[in-house]
Amino acid sequence: MKNKQKKLVFENGTEYFGCGFGADTSGVCEVVLNTSMVGYQEILSDPSYSGQFVCMTYPLIGNYGLADEDYESKVPRVGGFIVREYNDAPSNYRYTQTLSDVLADNGIPGIHGVDTREITRMIQARGGKRAAIVDAAAPKQQALDLIANTPLPRDQVRGVSCKRPWYSRTANYQYNVVALDCGIKHSVIKQLNARKCNVTVAPYDTTAEQIMMLSPDGLLISSGPGNPEEAAPVIELVARLCGRLPIFGIGLGCQIIALANGARVQKAAFGYGGGNIPVRELSTGKIDITAQGRTYIIDGSSIQEQALEITHINLLDGTVAGLGNREKRIFAVQFCPEGAPGPQDGARLFDQFIADMDAFMTERRQQHA
């Protein structure tokens, strides 16, 4: 379905008329912003955006198509795409499908031709809003009723996590890592494999006992969608394993580590992401340009110094972008160190994880000597 007249109706009654692409269906989701200039395929397939309409602020989307090797999960996860100008004739020798075809194959609606600058300003000024993509001829009240009668998504980690363990092995491995799948991205696994890690990807509700039976050298808590407080099994798991082995958290995993150590999280004024967000590492003063997306933030005032310390700060809004406990070999970041899409300034954090595992393995050998 391309160029059928559609409209985007926000819960405050604001309407934006445009043309549809992707699946010819209606949908209701929270609208979040993304300022990345490239990487729409990685955003489309990032489980962190599950059940959300992503409004791309860069005006031209679709111009290089989608390539089979660039997905971050097996299936697209977004609830819908909102773009200014959609290009359905990609120029890229690697592309295998157009964005519209992939959305259509997965039942995901898109709309183009709307004023994404005005939408961005409205969300920034008034906060996050839910919206509906419907036929242009549908009465406004019908769309508002659809929004009001559509329940808010709950327990979203359950929906994106794998149902049983799976494995990503590498030749001449040196480390065994368990990655708890709260919505893990393939690029994170590739970064670990490149550092000689065999990775066991485990469902989000795996117990501490099941993980320790695998004799891991480290535990990674992945990024993912939704309210971290609803991921109770993961919070309990992290609380039980803190200090027993190295733990690295990314995105939602960072928020879960905070919750497991007595801190609080809260809904951000609006959901946003991008590929050029500056973050300062407090110990060195170094500024990294990072990719990140978030709907929830950590309340920095709630962090208990004896449990965690703030390690990184988001320079755009001063929020917590990283935390850790060096004695317990726990650390976590709110951004995407794998840089997919975006810069890989934070990729050295995977090296820190490796160093923590080396130290942990040395201690374990000494205890058994």
Tens digits of pLDDT across the chain (369 residues): 567 999 999 999 999 999 999 999 999 999 999 999 999 999 999 999 999 999 999 999 999 999 999 999 999 999 999 999 999 999 999 999 999 999 999 999 999 999 999 999 999 999 999 999 999 999 999 999 999 999 999 999 999 999 999 999 999 999 999 999 999 999 999 999 999 999 999 999 999 999 999 999 999 999 999 999 999 999 999 999 999 999 999 999 999 999 999 999 999 999 999 989 999 999 999 999 999 999 999 999 999 888 999 999 999 999 999 999 999 999 999 999 987 676 776 788 999 999 999 999 998 888 876
How far is CA 343 from each of CA 39, 40, 332, rounded to the nearest angstrom?
11, 15, 18
Q: DSSP class of residue 25?
A: -
CATH number assigned to the domain with residue range 5-149, chosen from the 4 options 3.30.360.10, 1.10.150.110, 3.30.428.10, 3.50.30.20? 3.50.30.20
CATH fold of 156-368: Rossmann fold (3.40.50)
Residue 99 is which amino acid? L
Q: What is the pLDDT of residues 126-179, one digit of tens each?
A: 999 999 999 999 999 999 999 999 999 999 999 999 999 999 999 999 999 999
Parts of the chain belonging to CATH 3.50.30.20: 5-149
Look at strands 80-83 and 320-325 and give their pairing: unpaired
For residue 27, which phi and psi values (nearest 5 degrees)? -160, 155
Please list, in sequence order, all residues whose beta carbon lies within 8 angstroms of the beta carbon of residue 317, skipping any fewer than 6 positions away: none
Contact (Cβ atoms closer than 8 angstroms) between residue 182 and residue 204? yes
Token pair in block for residue 204: 């989000």
Token pair in block for residue 344: 């890989």
What is d(CA 257, CA 240) in angstroms, rounded to the nearest whole number?
11
Parts of the chain belonging to CATH 3.40.50.880: 156-368
Residue 25 is which amino acid? T
Contact (Cβ atoms closer than 8 angstroms) between residue 32 and residue 49? yes
Q: What percent of the chain has pLDDT over 70?
A: 98
Give the position of tokens 């485990």: 202
Q: What is the pLDDT of residues 186-195, one digit of tens each?
A: 999 999 999 9
Angle at which helices 232-241 and 252-260 pack, to 10 degrees? Answer: 60
Contact (Cβ atoms closer than 8 angstroms) between residue 274 and residue 32? no
Token pair in block for residue 264: 């609080």
> Which residue in 264, 272, 212, 200 sits closest to 237, CA to CA?
212
> Which residue in 211, 311, 221, 304 sits closest to 257, CA to CA?
221
Bridge partners of 339, per DSSP, are none
